[in-house]
Amino acid sequence: MKEALLERIKKKEAIVGIVGMGYVGLPLMLRFMEEDIKVVGFDIDQEKIDKLNAGKSYIEHIPAEAIAKAVQSGFRATADFAEAGKVDALILCVPTPLNKYREPDLSYVINTVDSLVPHIRAGQVMSLESTTYPGTSDEELLPRIEKRGFKVGSDYFLVYSPEREDPGNKNFNTRSIPKVCGGTTPACQEIGVALYSGVIDKVVPVSSTRTAEMTKLLENIHRAVNIGLANEMKVVADRMGIDIHEVIRAAATKPFGFVPYYPGPGLGGHCIPIDPFYLTWKAREFGLHTRFIELAGEINNSMPHYVVDKVADALNRLNKSIKGSRILVLGIAYKKNVDDMRESPSTEIMELLTHKGAIVEYTDPHVPVFPRMRAHHFDLKSVPLTAENLKSYDVVVLTTDHDKFDYDLVLKNSKLIVDSRGKFLGNHAHVVKA
């Protein structure tokens, strides 16, 4: 089985099935198609499937032309999981959010695997790319595959290879970002490395799926902890009357021993706000309490409240309250220059302000209509960023510093600005750093 699958992969005859056509699955599909490797895309969202098969894109930084070219070359999308038996590789790129108790929600992974297992066949490889806790592949995927009657490592192959997508990053792409890959057995490892080596410049083998799963968590916990430190330093510096962004810029001139991390209104994206809690949850199974990681999480999760408190203080100085104030949120994507709304702290800030009685609107050139989200609901459209509109708001809250914004226009025409990104340099009487 192994040699036959390796031969198909080597000859580019293997058909790849990618499950989950989102920010991870879609770029990966395009990369395989660029190497003339046929891909079938699986998704439960019929609207996405229809758009893909029509050669259209629903992600801003992925051009429709690339999708259309892939379709012309043989790519197609489907919601029929029965077709899983027709492919040689199944790559799972589905969400792994947290539940309301901030515990791992593996329902998307488990439901996906349960939908696929009745249709899988001998001689396939399954790769999970979704971020998760160490042991997921061994404890959740492996038993389900073997219950179907296959022996993993001989007639079926299982690997974990975490996604490393960074939407909107022009310096790195799917091909150039090294790919970590861990297999359940050495044979699985060999298959996984062969599969990804055909489309990724550098594949990094590790000894097991658990090692690969932990690697992904360490990468994002590293960022979460350092951003938590920057956010805590921001609060301390603000109390002392010091601009933390000026401090960071100065510290970053040191050519060794310092890496700049920047504070903000909270953490966003599908990885950094979520991944640390996957490890803290799993660590409890081993009687461990990850105090350092959890403290960083507490600090980062408090930032939307910190920003709202800053808005309240700024309005109070003008003898106004949040209740009844017209507030414009500037940028609602989770980071600059993308349309990605996953876990964006802007949405929590909007909800907090709304609950306090504010009249909240937003402007974002990348998000013309507030999207459907699992946890946040606003029936809003992006308002035009004009001098007249800016003058009509009591306060403008900068939460995402898109390059497309005219910051001079904002500075000149806003009555009050609360800046959570350190974008407005120098001292301005109507700008409050948050």
What tokens does 334 get? 């989770």
Closest Cα partner for 41 from 10, 109, 87, 4? 87
SS3 assignment, position 330: strand
- For residue 267, the tally of other CB atoms under 10 A from its CB is 28
Residue pointed to by tokens 């599909």: 29
Identify the active-site residue in 93, 181, 188, 271. 271
**Quick check: 120 and 156 in contact, CB under 8 A?**
yes
What tokens does 178 get? 């090294």
Read off the DSSP letter of residue 119. Answer: G
Q: Report which secondary-structure segment, H or E, holds 418.
A: strand 417-419
Handedness of CA 228, 231, 236, 237 (dihedral sign): positive
Sheet of strand 395-398: strand arrangement: 359-363, 326-330, 395-398, 417-419, 431-433
List, in sequence order, the alpha helices (H) in 117-258. 136, 142-147, 186-197, 209-239, 244-251
The dihedral region occupied by 267, where left means phi > 0, alpha psi between -120 and 50, and beta the remainder, is beta
Our answer to whether residue 271 is catalytic in this structure is yes
- For residue 354, the tally of other CB atoms under 10 A from its CB is 14
Residue partners of 169: CB distance under 8 A and separation at least 6: none
What distances in angstroms separate CA 290 from CA 103, 218, 284, 293, 351, one per listed residue?
A: 14, 13, 8, 6, 30
The whole-angstrom separation of Cα 400 and Cα 65 is 28
To 5 degrees, how large is the angle CA 50–CA 56–CA 62? 130
Residue pointed to by tokens 């070219």: 69
Which residues participate in catalysis according to the annotation?
271
